[in-house]
Amino acid sequence: MEGKRIHLSKILPCIITIILAIVTIWPFYITVLMAFKTPRETFQSFYGLPKVFRLDNFINAWKITNFSLAFKNSFIVTMVSLVFIVLATSMAGYAIARSNKKFYNFIYVLFVSGMMVPFQVIMIPLYKMGRKFGLVNNRWGIILIYICLGVHLAVFLYTGFVKGIPKELEEAATIDGASTPQIFFKVVFPLLKPITMTILVLDTMWIWNDFFLPLLFLQDTKIRTLPLTQFYFYGKYNTQMNLAFAAFILAMIPILIFYFAMQKYIVKGIVAGAVKG
Amino acid sequence: MKKKILVLILIVMVMVTSCIGCGKKNDESVTSKKGDTTSNKEEQPKVTLKMTHFKAEATEGINKIIEAFNEEYPNIEINVDLLEWGNYDTILKTKFASNEIIDIICLKEGDLLNKYGKAGYLADLTDKTFMDNIQDVAVKASATDGKNYAVPVDNSPIAVFYNKKIFKDKGFEIPKTYSELMSIAKQLKEEGTAGFALGYKDEWPLSMFQSRAAVDVLYLQGQPEWGKNYLDGKTTFADTPEWKTVIAQCKDFYTYGNDDPLGVDYNKALDMFAAGDAAMIFQGLWILPEIEKRNPEFFNNDLGIFPYPATEDPSDVKLEATGDFVIAAGAESTHLDEAMKFLEFMTTKEAAKIWTDNIKTISAVKDSSLSFAPCLADIEPYFNNGQIYDAQPYLSQLSGNWDGQITKYIIEYLIDRKTVDEVLEAQDKFMQRTLNN
Amino acid sequence: MGTSKKSSRQRWFFIFILPSLFLFTISIIIPVIQGFILTLTNWDGIQKSYDFVGFKNYITLFQDELFYNALINTLKFTLGVAIFQNVFGLLLAVLLNKSSRVNNFFRTIFFMPAVLSVVLAGFIWTYVYSDGIPALYDMLNLKFTSSPLGNPDMAMIALIIIQLWLCTGTTMVIYIAGLQSIPEDIYESAKVDGANHLQSFFKITLPMLGPAITINFVLVVKQAMMVFDLVFVTTSGGPGHCTDVLSTYLWETTFTNNQAGYGSSMSFIFLLILIIMAMLQLKFFRKREVEM
């Protein structure tokens, strides 16, 4: 009896996991498969492997979607936004966590409740403002907006994290005569590495994949980001699914590479931020 | 650490600004390449116009027209922005709401054009001489409250496209009454071919159908001012039995069309029609390049068109030839003269030919050819005998999204979520809400 | 000396918070105020002029059956997602808790969809539903009737499935983190006391996962209530109004029906609903956390 029970409790989880994993991978499998096939091959056998793994679809998709340009745009927008988000919000998180005044608490609640605001509420006023200050159709404009929108979550995470750092180190530094900014940049900020990584990772995924904001603010074809070019491309070519899927894969590769490289940080960071928050 | 971070930030900023600088340089080189169509030093100052449009299939054709335009006006450069149709209205609205200037704006005839015309965003073209180059019917039909705010570019008859081979094999004649059409469709469906290719996952094909059917059975059957009457409170959807007829016609198409119409989108419907899995499709001329792409043999030999017979009276059968693509100048454009020059160019036979050759819809310019697609021979007689009508003046009597909304309700009826009466009631309620705004 | 240090610190705190505060003000506070003013008008989004109509928009909203339809659909969607995403997330977390090559491999797989753009996921799944599943049925010699996205009864479920595919990975990760923060010895002593797997799960694991459960529910609910991209790209609220959610109806009202003022009032009520739901959840879960 004992032997049987051990077997079942080991096999059942395996089976469940494998089934769920297959369901999860299945759309990816279809995507990859379609990208390598021609329409005729798809027609003959939907799930079968192609005879030859041709790169034609990829080459065409690269050219048509002007991939390198879109990639560059996405890259610039994401990177610059991240730098400023981390800077501004880490400082704010520190101030909120270490200060005891009610004012800061109030601001914290304000920031966090900002997470609830649906984008549609602020969309037109934002666009109007952007136009006034020449920020539309301009990379800096959308970067500014990403920074603004990134404030809530980042402040939330930083505050929670800083609260969990023992004050002894800072107190020691104060005794040594360090000024507040010195304490922050030299002592505290390095300790924030885990949560900084979380924010970098989360916000990268958000900004890189964001579609709606670029749709409104980046109409000039020369500065369009990756998701936007994908959308327009699909609208035009959605009868040529093989080509479309090749384009999707091209768009997915950067973010997947990022994911595999940063995996550890994603998990570690979510741990620190979520559980503590 | 502080220093390290500062240095890092500096490096990033330098990289970033140099990248952005790179981008700018590329822009400039691109623009100078475009303007370099002339090597001689022109006296006239270079003017750059901004143009938006939404018709992806027309991009090549429009670029060719611009190239031809530049041969006459090398100093006027036009930057074309192709926006996606689904969001075109939204993006335009947002731009206008924030006072952005677009010099040349492409629109669709009808509600969109009327909206922007009335709001004052489009230049008044009523008295421009170049409008005389356009067919009178088109000029009249595209007017908003008697004024012309855009140049009609093409004319896209909306009718029933059919598969001549299937008709011949089954011995069908071109139907001249609604019941003839339905018996053809019924027989086809019973014998395994879908009568109609329905791509109702995209709601617009259904919307287009119900609105044209409404024009055929309501407006043209003695109530040409129904929409105006509605706005004056003299009638309602629920009180108008002709709407029930329209909905019944939608139901018939649904019944004799392909399986799962709500899961099949427009593109797949075209696939079906081009492959012969469906014998007919109610669409506009814009599908021609799409059909040619899918099945050139079918396009050249077996594709036919006949006007939709909505009633039992054969003499009612007329070809619906409504204006589709129109082009306007932004009222606040700082280069209005140059924008007008381009509009004028669009009314020339040269531009018309480039348009029909590339985009394959009928040009609204007077005396332009119909020979770019074999199936057009079917409808040429209707043009020649004056048996055409434009649906726009009827459709644009009701403003707002009335057609999109009633289409959604009709879909709910088709899936048995609403009765016909409930559809009309809900539509009236919706209109109350939006009109009283 | 002490006070000046304190006040200099306070000054620095203020400087530190200034950038974020400024950004927040111009991007949220001011637009929200402007947005609220809009709710009192009948602006259609294009015309340059509009009139003030007081609270008429709100009155209309309360009588709008399409709004209630969207609200109910959103709640259905949220309920389905909240329950299943947490159940599956927790299940996977429990199964893949131990760090091993195999487990890491599986964790990677389950989290991968979270990395994708929702728009791409929507396109891919639309195709999976319209062509992938029929091909599968074909192989099994069954006839497939229709894509669930076009089927009024199945469409919402189909959407929930896509959302689960996209987001369960994140939920799983948070639960794993929660699980790993539970010290091993508690399980050891429970085993000694004679508890089996199921008992230790319900009496130890769940209570100690309190914070993780709270976070997951709050995040998942918020994300589900605000869903837009997914619905927009796959069904646009169709067929008919069957999958219309608050965000898509809001979009339709503001942009397709040209009722920017009315739409703005809807967005504020939407905001109110979100806030109330968040507060209710926090209250509910925090209370249970304390009890445990």
B28 lies in a domain? Answer: no
Closest CA to B265 of B193, B190, B186, B206: B206
| Domain that residue B251 falls in | 156-322+378-435
To the nearest whole Å, the CA of A243 is away from the closest chain B CA by: 15
- Put simply, the answer to whether A227 touches C111 (Cβ < 8 Å) is no
Closest CA to C241 of C93, C71, C35: C71
* CATH code of C101's domain: 1.10.3720.10
The CA distance from B407 to B398, in Å, is 15
Q: What is the pLDDT of residues B347-382, one digit of tens each?
A: 998 888 888 888 878 888 877 777 778 888 888 888
C81 lies in a domain? Answer: yes
Model pLDDT, residue B59: 83
Q: Which of the two residues, B254 and A45, has the higher pLDDT score?
A: B254
Instruction: Output DSSP code: residue B134.
Output: B
Pairing assessment for the beta strands B151-152 and B325-329 based on DSSP bridges = antiparallel
Claim to verify: residue B353 and residue B279 sit in the same structural domain: no
List Cβ neighbours of C47 (8 Å cut-off, separation of 6 or more).
B119
The CA distance from B376 to B319, in Å, is 12
| Domain that residue C110 falls in | 70-291
Q: Is A14 helix (H, G, I), strand (E, B) or coil?
A: helix
Q: Count CB atoms within 10 A of the CB of residue B190.
A: 10
Model pLDDT, residue B16: 43
List Cβ neighbours of C80 (8 Å cut-off, separation of 6 or more).
C156, C157, C160
Chain A stretch 45-74, residues whose beta carbon is closer than 8 A to a beta carbon of chain C: 46-47
Model pLDDT, residue B327: 92
Q: Is B80 helix (H, G, I), strand (E, B) or coil?
A: strand
SS (H, E, C) B216-275: HHCHHHCCCCHHHHHHCCCCCCCCCHHHHHHHHHHHHHHHHECCCCCCCCHHHHHHHHHH
Neighbours of chain C (3+ CB pairs under 8 A): A, B
Instruction: Output DSSP code: residue A52.
Output: S
**Buried/exposed code over B171-180 (b: 16+ C-beta within 10 A; e: otherwise):** ebebbbbbeb
Q: Is A275 helix (H, G, I), strand (E, B) or coil?
A: helix
C17 lies in a domain? Answer: no
- Put simply, the answer to whether A274 touches C215 (Cβ < 8 Å) is yes
Structural domains in chain C (count): 1
To the nearest whole Å, the CA of C117 is away from the closest chain A CA by: 5
The reply to whether C42 touches chain B by the CB within 8 Å rule is: yes
What residues of chain A lie within 8 A of the CB of C115, using their CB?
A: 205, 255-256, 258-259
The reply to whether A120 touches chain C by the CB within 8 Å rule is: yes
Chain B stretch 130-189, residues whose beta carbon is closer than 8 A to a beta carbon of chain C: none
> Which among B30, B81, B270 has CB closest to A219?
B81
- Put simply, the answer to whether C259 touches B97 (Cβ < 8 Å) is no
Q: What is the ipTM of this complex?
A: 0.78
Partners of B323 in beta bridges: B155
Nearest chain A residue to B27, by CA = A222
Closest CA to A113 of B192, B290, B231, C272: C272
Q: Is C41 helix (H, G, I), strand (E, B) or coil?
A: strand
Handedness of CA B328, B330, B331, B333 (dihedral sign): negative
Which of A65, A124, A216 is the mutation pick for testing C, counting most C CBs within 10 A? Answer: A124
The CA distance from B351 to C189, in Å, is 86
- Percentage of chain B beyond pLDDT 70 is 89
Contact call for residues B322 and B156 (beta carbons, < 8 A):
yes
What residues of chain C lie within 8 A of the CB of A129, using their CB?
A: 26, 30-31
Domain boundaries, chain A: 2-54, 58-276
Per-residue pLDDT averaged across B235-245, rounded? Answer: 91
- Put simply, the answer to whether C16 touches A211 (Cβ < 8 Å) is no
The DSSP line for B106-121 is EEETTHHHHHHHHTT-
Q: Count CB atoms within 10 A of the CB of residue B47.
A: 17
* CATH code of B131's domain: 3.40.190.10
Model pLDDT, residue A270: 59
To the nearest whole Å, the CA of C223 is away from the closest chain B CA by: 24
The CA distance from A211 to C270, in Å, is 22
To the nearest whole Å, the CA of B311 is away from the closest chain A CA by: 35
Q: Count CB atoms within 10 A of the CB of residue B159.
A: 23
What residues of chain B lie within 8 A of the CB of C130, using their CB?
A: 263, 268
Partners of C44 in beta bridges: none
B278: phi then psi, degrees, rounded to nearest 5: -130, 140
Chain C stretch 188-247, residues whose beta carbon is closer than 8 A to a beta carbon of chain B: 236, 238-242
The reply to whether C69 touches chain B by the CB within 8 Å rule is: no
Sheet of B104-108, strand order: B76-82, B47-53, B104-108, B325-329, B151-152
The CA distance from B322 to A147, in Å, is 48
Element housing C290 (H / E): helix C260-291
B311 lies in a domain? Answer: yes
For the cut 70, the answer to whether the pLDDT of residue B10 exceeds it is: no
Q: What is the pLDDT of residues B139-160, one digit of tens each?
A: 887 888 888 999 988 888 899 9
Between the CA of residue A201 and those of A209, A249, A270, B209, what are the distances in Å?
12, 21, 10, 49
Claim to verify: residue B197 and residue B335 sit in the same structural domain: no
Closest CA to B97 of A130, C232, C25, C264: A130
Average pLDDT across each block of 10 residues of chain C; the chain has 292 residues. List them in order: 66 84 86 85 71 86 90 94 93 85 86 86 87 77 72 87 91 84 80 76 80 83 88 80 89 80 87 87 75 53
C181 lies in a domain? Answer: yes
Partners of A79 in beta bridges: none
Whether cis (ω within 30° of 0) applies to the bond prior to C113 is no
Claim to verify: residue B333 and residue B423 sit in the same structural domain: no
Which of A24, A119, A189, A233 is the mutation pick for testing C, counting most C CBs within 10 A? Answer: A24
Contact call for residues A233 and A216 (beta carbons, < 8 A):
no
Question: Rounded to a whole number, what is the distance in angstroms from the first to the last CA of chain A?
Answer: 45
Q: Which residue has the tokens 């139901």?
A: B251
Which of B111, B262, B432 is the mutation pick for testing C, counting most C CBs within 10 A? Answer: B262
Q: Is B372 helix (H, G, I), strand (E, B) or coil?
A: coil
Claim to verify: residue B205 and residue B255 sit in the same structural domain: yes
Nearest chain C residue to A202, by CA = C115
C97: Cα within 13 Å, side-chain hemisphere = 16
- Put simply, the answer to whether C47 touches B412 (Cβ < 8 Å) is no
- Put simply, the answer to whether A260 touches C108 (Cβ < 8 Å) is yes
The reply to whether A135 touches chain C by the CB within 8 Å rule is: no
Name the architecture of domain A58-276: Orthogonal Bundle (1.10)
B18 lies in a domain? Answer: no
Nearest chain C residue to A181, by CA = C12
The DSSP line for C77-126 is HHHHHHHHHHHHHHHHHHHT-S--HHHHHHHHHHHGGGGS-HHHHHHHHH
- Put simply, the answer to whether B415 touches C240 (Cβ < 8 Å) is yes
Handedness of CA C176, C180, C181, C183 (dihedral sign): positive
Which of C10, C17, C88 is the mutation pick for testing A, counting most A CBs within 10 A? Answer: C17
Nearest chain A residue to B100, by CA = A131
B198 lies in a domain? Answer: yes
Which of C257, C264, C266 is the mutation pick for testing B, counting most B CBs within 10 A? Answer: C257
Model pLDDT, residue B373: 81
Model pLDDT, residue B424: 93
Encode chain A (277 residues) as per-residue pLDDT tens digits.
454 555 666 788 888 888 999 989 999 988 888 888 877 777 667 777 777 777 888 888 888 778 888 888 889 999 999 999 999 888 888 888 888 788 888 888 888 877 777 777 787 777 777 767 777 777 888 888 898 888 888 888 888 778 878 888 888 888 887 777 878 888 888 888 877 887 888 888 888 888 878 877 776 667 788 887 777 777 666 667 778 888 888 888 888 888 888 877 766 655 555 554 4
To the nearest whole Å, the CA of C56 is away from the closest chain B CA by: 9
Q: Which two tokens stand for residue C112?
A: 């991968």
For the cut 70, the answer to whether the pLDDT of residue B407 exceeds it is: yes
Contact call for residues B360 and B287 (beta carbons, < 8 A):
no
List Cβ neighbours of B190 (8 Å cut-off, separation of 6 or more).
none
B253: phi then psi, degrees, rounded to nearest 5: -60, -45
Model pLDDT, residue C4: 64
The CA distance from B137 to B133, in Å, is 12
Q: Which residue has the tokens 């209570």?
A: C207
Contact call for residues A98 and A162 (beta carbons, < 8 A):
yes
Contact call for residues A223 and A74 (beta carbons, < 8 A):
no
- Put simply, the answer to whether A222 touches B27 (Cβ < 8 Å) is yes
The CA distance from C210 to C288, in Å, is 8
Average pLDDT, chain B: 82
Q: Which residue has the tokens 């539309």?
A: A136
Nearest chain C residue to A185, by CA = C16
- Put simply, the answer to whether B411 touches C150 (Cβ < 8 Å) is no
The reply to whether A132 touches chain B by the CB within 8 Å rule is: yes
Chain A stretch 237-276, residues whose beta carbon is closer than 8 A to a beta carbon of chain C: 238, 241, 244-245, 248, 251-252, 255-256, 258-260, 263, 266-267, 270-271, 274-275
List Cβ neighbours of A156 (8 Å cut-off, separation of 6 or more).
A111, A112, A115, A277
List Cβ neighbours of B187 (8 Å cut-off, separation of 6 or more).
B170
Q: Which two tokens stand for residue B278?
A: 């469906």
- Put simply, the answer to whether B27 touches A83 (Cβ < 8 Å) is no
Q: Which residue has the tokens 């429970």?
A: C190
B13 lies in a domain? Answer: no
What residues of chain A lie within 8 A of the CB of B83, using their CB?
A: 219
